[in-house]
Amino acid sequence: MIGLIAWSSILIFQKDWASGEYIGVSGIATLQVWPFRAFIVLGVSVAALEFLFRAASDIAACRNPGERS
C-alpha cells in the first residue's frame, strides 16, 4: 500500500515540477510547491523501502527459525 502512495506521489511531484505552481500570498510571500512534494516523495519512498527490508528480514527469520538477526 505504501508503495502505491509513493508511486502516486511521484506523479503529483512530476505535475508540480512541470507546472511551476506557487503557494502563498502574491506580493507578500510565495514558495514553489515542488520542493514540498519532493520531501513527501522522499519520506514515503524511504518508508516503503524500510517496509520491504523489514518484510524480507521477517521472511528470512521464518525460514530459519534457529537463527536470529
pLDDT digits (tens, 9 = 90+) for 40-56: 999 999 999 999 999 99
What does the DSSP 8-state code read for residue 65?
Answer: T
How would residue 6 be classed by pLDDT, with cut points 50, 70 and 90?
Answer: confident
pLDDT at 65 (0 to 100) = 75
pLDDT of residue 69 exceeding 60: no
Q: How deeply is 17 buried, as exposed, middle or buried, from its count of CB atoms within 10 A (0-12, 13-18, 19+)?
A: middle
Give the position of cell 512541470: 18
| CB contact at 8 A, 21 and 32 | yes
Bridge partner residues of 22 (DSSP): 32
Mean pLDDT to the nearest integer, 20-48? 90
